[in-house]
Structure 1
Amino acid sequence: MADLSPAEQEKVDQELQAKQFAEQAALPYKWTQTIKDVDVTAQVPANMRGKDFDVKITKTKLRVGLKGQEPIIDGDLPHPIHVDESTWTLESTKDGKEISIHLDKVNKMEWWAHVITSAPKIDTTKIQPENSNLGDLDGETRQMVEKMMFDQRQKEMGKPTSDEIKKTEILEKFKKEHPEMDFSNAKLG
């Protein structure tokens, strides 16, 4: 396959995006996701009540529909969910009513290409993740990210990274403890 010019690649990407948009718009529901969860909504008749629905949420399957009718969604989930943290609600909207399903992902480090495996996929490599705060991270992960950010800024300014600073400090301390030694040819590696 020949390499595409940036303009050709952009055209291919736009065509793919338009195709995916059309496929997603044709679904009887809308869905969004964050790295942690998936939210699905579907318009339903305004006279419907919660007891009129057949909703089944399991670790690997989802079925949503009105009792006695063809389901709006029915199939295998692409990845497992936490059933106890997943919910559904019926909400009034300006256009009638909407059923809203919240699915809590087990793996909070992956994007879903679709809600159910039989639905058209989206290209998850094109997802722009929402900005997250360092405060959202656990202590160890936060320290690692802060160190990486510091080292990146230091490199951009042509300054030593945190590891290089640490090595220099250790060498300086060792020099003070051993004034009798010659360090003129010492190199940090």
Structure 2
Amino acid sequence: MSSEDAYDNLSKEEREVRDREDRAREQAEQAALPYKWTQELGEVDISVPVPQGTRARDLVIVLQKKKLSVGLKGQDKILDGELCMEIKVEESTWTVVDNQSVLIHLEKINKERWWENVLTHHPKINTRKIEPGNSKLSDLDGETRGMVEKMMFDNQQKQLGKPTSDEIKKMEALKRFQDAHPEMDFSNAKIS
């Protein structure tokens, strides 16, 4: 039995206990990392503490499609390894903040997946428990907004037992065809 199946068989109270334990373990693992990180669906931001007074010229930073390395010249790397997913190198950046941390902004190639970790050898988080911040339809570009509005309309129509936007379009097309060809019998026509 997989761990997901075992989780599904737990009572509500047992799930809440397991979730609390998992969150506490995750928080402890993440707190032990030499950096803090946050993510949105399209990007990851990493803050790496460095000694007070550090300047950009003191750092050696490597950003590659599947690799990240941060260190001070002449010293061991603070972090170094394979990224869990690929990034758009040309749209990813880093900067020194207040001479005491490095802020690294990574643009994801796959903007539809949550990252479980930054580097593959670091502890993973449970991405199924991520609750994205609320976004407004007005925040979306025109094409995405139209797609989301259509999905919302179709979902509402299905819940009411009414036809979806695609089904409405098909019925309208059939109606126009019927009006143009009254001589034809459409009594057995099926829309699918």
Interval containing the TM-score (normalised by the shorter chain): 0.7 to 0.9
Query: Of 46, 52, 71, which residue of structure 2 is paired with 1:46?
Result: 52
The residue number in structure 1 matching 2:31 is: 25
The residue number in structure 1 matching 2:77 is: 71
Structure 1, residues 138-165: CA drift from partner, whole Å, max 9, x if none?
63x5544332221112223333222332
Structure 1 residue ranges, 4+ long, deviating more than 6 angstroms after superposition: none
Structure 2 unaligned runs (5+)?
Answer: none
Query: Of 84, 98, 101, which residue of structure 1 is paired with 2:101?
Result: 98
- Secondary structure at the aligned position of 1:45 is classed as coil
Q: More helix by proportion, 1 or 2?
A: 2
The residue number in structure 2 matching 1:136 is: 140
1:68 Cα deviation from its structure 2 partner: 2.6
- Amino acid in structure 1 at the alignment position of 2:102: I
1:31 Cα deviation from its structure 2 partner: 0.5
Provide the TM-score with structure 2 as the length reference: 0.81
Query: Of 5, 9, 14, which residue of structure 2 is paired with 1:8?
Result: 14
- Secondary structure at the aligned position of 2:105 is classed as strand
Aligned mates of 1:180, 1:58 — CA distance in 2: 66
1:45 Cα deviation from its structure 2 partner: 2.2
Q: Say yes or no: does 1:149 pair with 2:152.
A: yes
1:176–1:117 Cα change, 3 Å: closer
Structure 1 residues 80-95: aligned runs within 5 Å: 80-92=86-98
- Amino acid in structure 2 at the alignment position of 1:56: V
Query: Of 107, 125, 129, which residue of structure 1 is paired with 2:128?
Result: 125
Work out whether residues 167 and 188 of structure 1, in 8 Å CA contact, stay in contact via their aligned partners in 2: no
Q: CA RMSD in A?
A: 2.5
Structure 1, residues 110-134: CA drift from partner, whole Å, max 9, x if none?
2211111111111112122234446
Work out whether residues 55 and 65 of structure 1, in 8 Å CA contact, stay in contact via their aligned partners in 2: yes
Percent same amino acid among aligned pairs? 53
Work out whether residues 63 and 71 of structure 1, in 8 Å CA contact, stay in contact via their aligned partners in 2: yes
Aligned mates of 1:166, 1:52 — CA distance in 2: 62
Larger radius of gyration: 1
- Amino acid in structure 1 at the alignment position of 2:103: S
